[in-house]
Amino acid sequence: MLTGNKGEWSEIYTFFRLLADQKVYSGDAELNKIEELFYPIVKILREEHVGRFEYQVDQNVVLVFGGGNEVRIPVETFNDIAEQLFAKIRNSTGVFSLPEIEEFMSSIYCYTLKAKSTDKTDIKVVIHDLRTGLQHLLGFSIKSKLGSPSTLLNAGGDTTNFIYQINGIDEAIMSEVNKVEKFKEKFDLLRKYKARIKFITTANSVFKSNLVYVDYCLPEIIGNIVLLYYSSPNSRISDIVGVINEANPLNFDLVYNQDFYEHKVKRFLTDIALGLKTSKPWRGKYEATGGYLIVKEDGGVICYHIYDKNQFEDYLFNNTRLETPSTTRHLFGQIFEEEGDFYIKLNLQVRFL
């Protein structure tokens, strides 16, 4: 029997919903459907342990090909099953099984909640691009608003730690600050003692190299973002970048009102979303070649296609926040001394709103 959480069952829901709707609409920065921008679905591909299967939309019928067999299922059936599944997902908690849904899945040679895929790709879809008249096989990552918000970038121990030097303190202040658990209180104490905090580098050389590969200024920009998150009430990336833009720590020439910080952070978020990993050298090759599919609270599925780069970047920028992972697991948050100088590590983790 198949079991999964809301996010995992949402992948099957997306599979059914796309076949039922026969198209997917693009979304704007606030998750609203853009009525005039959509992509017809030609077919969906899945790799199962028994072989490769194609689900092709043909007017009011979905044709299932694979293993030498052909099955014809009315589109209306996919719509009905999708609605049943959506209701079950909304009303369930934790990890759960849905025998009636699993029975239908088996009838169309769908045996797993998550098809075999690359790390960032949850579903492979052939779409018809109305603007070019061409068909494209694209891999999409699926994010669901039906369960707990998913992470965009997971903390990875020292891999995602940023190192800062703290000037103007001594061992007594270090000891006092280290006894405080909440980060905002730690930084309130440091401000009280007029400590000066400066970003030095990332703890991991591969992550630093990846950041520089995206943009030479990114290590310092993300370092400033992480510091501001831990030392202030701000957590939304768009809010933090707004504050940093006002402070302009890298002294960009803003005479032409160019949004240097926002532009560079959007580039970073996009690369993280589509392929960049913190522990492996990044060479700019996207794994999720289509972009993101988002399951909304009302059951609608919208698309952020990398062809529509502006909408995709705006979505990521306006719908992500920083959060604090486990300090003990990821080895950060305590001031330490090396050769008479004082330092602190702060960790980066990004989650969707």
- Are 264 and 128 contained in the same domain? no
- Boundary (domain end) residue, out of 146, 167, 196: 146
> Is residue 294 assigned to a domain?
no
Tell me how crowded residue 96 is: count the other CB atoms within 10 A of its CB.
Answer: 16
Distance, in Å, from the CA atom of 136 to the CA atom of 141, rounded to the nearest integer, reads 16
Are 45 and 166 part of one and the same domain?
no
The amino acid at 144: S
C-alpha separations of 26 from 7, 101, 208 in Å: 21, 28, 33
Q: Distances in Å between the alpha carbon of 272 and those of 48, 73, 161, 278?
A: 27, 38, 16, 9
Both 224 and 337 in a single domain? Answer: yes
65, 125: one domain:
yes
Burial of residue 59 (number of CB atoms within 10 Å: 0-12, 13-18, 19+): exposed
Domain end call among 92, 117, 146 = 146
Examine residue 1 and state whether it is found in any structural domain, yes or no: no
- Say what the pLDDT of residue 164 is: 98
Q: What is the pTM of this model?
A: 0.90
Q: Which residues have a Cβ under 8 Å from the Cβ of 47 and sit 6 or more positions away?
A: 53, 115, 116, 117
**Do 202 and 262 belong together in one domain?**
yes
Q: What is the mean pLDDT of residues 212-239?
A: 98
- Give yes or no: residues 113 and 159 share one domain: no
Burial-class residue 283 by CB neighbours within 10 Å (0-12, 13-18, 19+). exposed
Digit-coded pLDDT (tens) for 207-218 = 999 999 999 999
pLDDT tens string 10-60: 999 999 999 999 999 999 988 999 999 999 999 999 988 888 999 999 889
Based on the domain organization, do 107 and 131 belong to the same domain? yes
- Residues of the domain holding 18: 6-146
118 and 183 in one domain? Answer: no
Residue 318 pLDDT exceeds 60: yes
Q: Are residues 131 and 172 in the same domain?
A: no
**Claim to verify: residue 160 and residue 108 sit in the same structural domain:** no
How does pLDDT run across 284-312, given as a tens digit for each residue? 988 877 899 999 999 999 999 887 889 99
> How many domains are contained in the chain?
2
Q: Is residue 292 part of a domain?
A: no
DSSP per residue, 307-339: TSHHHHHHHHHHSEEE----HHHHT-S--EEET
- Please tell me whether residues 41 and 138 are part of one structural domain: yes
What's the token pair of residue 23?
Answer: 């198209």
The reply to whether 103 falls in a domain is yes
**Confidence (pLDDT) at 146:** 94
* 207/325 same-domain check: yes
Tokens of 67: 């293993």
Look at residue 301 and tell me if it is in a domain.
no
300 occurs within a structural domain: no
| Residue 295 resides in a domain | no
Give the separation between CA 34 and CA 158, rounded to whole angstroms.
41
Domain end point (choices 83, 112, 146)? 146
User: Which whole-number Å values give the CA distances from 10 to 44, 180, 277, 344, 349, in the listed order?
Assistant: 16, 41, 24, 40, 23
Which pLDDT tens digit goes with each residue over 174-225? 999 999 999 999 999 999 999 999 999 999 999 999 999 999 999 999 999 9
Phi, psi of 245 (to 5 degrees): -60, -40
The answer to whether position 297 is within a domain reads no
